[in-house]
Amino acid sequence: MTASMDIAQQVDLSALNTLGLPVIAAHYAEPTTIGELQQLLAEAHRQHWPVAVLGGGSNVIPAPYIEGLVIRYAGADTHLEVDGSSGLLHASAGADWPSLVATTAEAGWWGIENLALIPGSAGAAPVQNIGAYGVEIGELIERVVYVDREDSSVKTLSAAECGFGYRDSIFKHALSERAIIVEIVLRVSRNALPRLDYADLAQRVALPATPMAVADAVSAIRRDKLPDPQQLANAGSFFKNPTVPESLAAALSERYPDMPRYPAAGGVKLAAGWLIDRCGLKGFKRGHFGIHERQALVIVHVGGGSAQELGAFANTIAEQVEERFGVQLEQEPRFLGFPA
């Protein structure tokens, strides 16, 4: 293994998860190329190390101690393949997502501007099928390139093969323990395609708009509503918006006429933040964790807490919502490095 591929031991990764949870990795490496990644996988196989993959750290709950090898793919190259008014944006998995959106929008390309200021890396974006203000990345994905952990081969999936759903993809299911994403390819356009379905966004954007104007407006709204992880540790929206049967949604609407509800596949989607807020939990604190004072979907960490304490706090929130509304909440952040 070359000097550039040295594997560090007993590495503190506390600064690499936006929840600011304490975590030590037994072994850690940051490959920048597919070849380096394949070398690491071969070494992990020889050493019989389990492998955990860390992206931007904005949507994970890490174990306090992670056995084996933690890999953070750091290749961050990007380039645009232009065909008239259409383009294919190639982004290596380690590219910073907010920077990628800003650069693309500033260059006048439409497509990902509604996803501005979502923290994380480009490679993590399809795993969660990140979405905001009426746009999900799954709509824009042309293909995803990954390295298979089992045989180190490089494979490509089309958007249809990625199984995108609400905050969901094949990378959270069948490929959760196999795929290490190394590149995403997104379809962007020069044609003006502003998505301004949300009132708070439409109010801030004057038509005719530019992609940068939309990205700036989205960023301003996010700054108003959500705490900056650099200032207050958090993982963004902690709970998914639940989809419930029409019968339950109708019964709840009779009791709570102001309850937001939206059509969804398989039922009606409710606003998890509204449910938590109506339980009187906005601003609620216990120990080292709390619900953000302006956004009930966000759990914040004031420092000194653990993953176990966070889990207990989140369970308390979910239990109160279920007791009052009969609705089960599901967390968004995924666990990293915990025993199966």
How far is Cα 294 from Cα 98, in angstroms, rounded to an integer?
22
Q: How many CB atoms lie within 10 A of CB 111?
A: 23
Hey, what's the torsion of the CAs at 118, 120, 122, 124, to 10 degrees? Answer: -110
Query: Closest by alpha carbon to 281, among 271, 269, 263, 293?
Result: 293
The pLDDT, as a whole number, for residue 32 is 97
Residue 136 among the catalytic residues: no
Give, as one character, the DSSP assignment of residue 81.
E
| CA 18 from centroid of its chain's CA atoms | 11
Full set of structural domains in the chain with CATH: 3-71 (3.30.43.10), 78-225 (3.30.465.10), 233-336 (3.90.78.10)
The pLDDT, as a whole number, for residue 170 is 98
The pLDDT, as a whole number, for residue 312 is 98
The pLDDT, as a whole number, for residue 339 is 87
Identify the H or E element spanning 156: strand 154-158
User: pLDDT tens digits for 95-123?
Assistant: 999 999 999 999 999 999 999 999 999 99
One-letter identity of residue 60: V
Positions in the chain short of pLDDT 70: 1-4
Q: Is the peptide bond before 194 cis (omega within 30 degrees of 0)?
A: no
Residue 36 among the catalytic residues: no
Catalytic pick among 106, 139, 309, 332: 332
**Angle at the Cα of 132 from the Cα atoms of 181 and 299, rounded to 5 degrees:** 85
Catalytic pick among 72, 149, 167, 261: 167
How far is Cα 213 from Cα 11, in angstroms, rounded to an integer?
41
The pLDDT, as a whole number, for residue 3 is 43
Query: Closest by alpha carbon to 58, among 286, 233, 311, 318?
Result: 233
How far is Cα 74 from Cα 191, in angstroms, rounded to an integer?
32
Residue 167 among the catalytic residues: yes
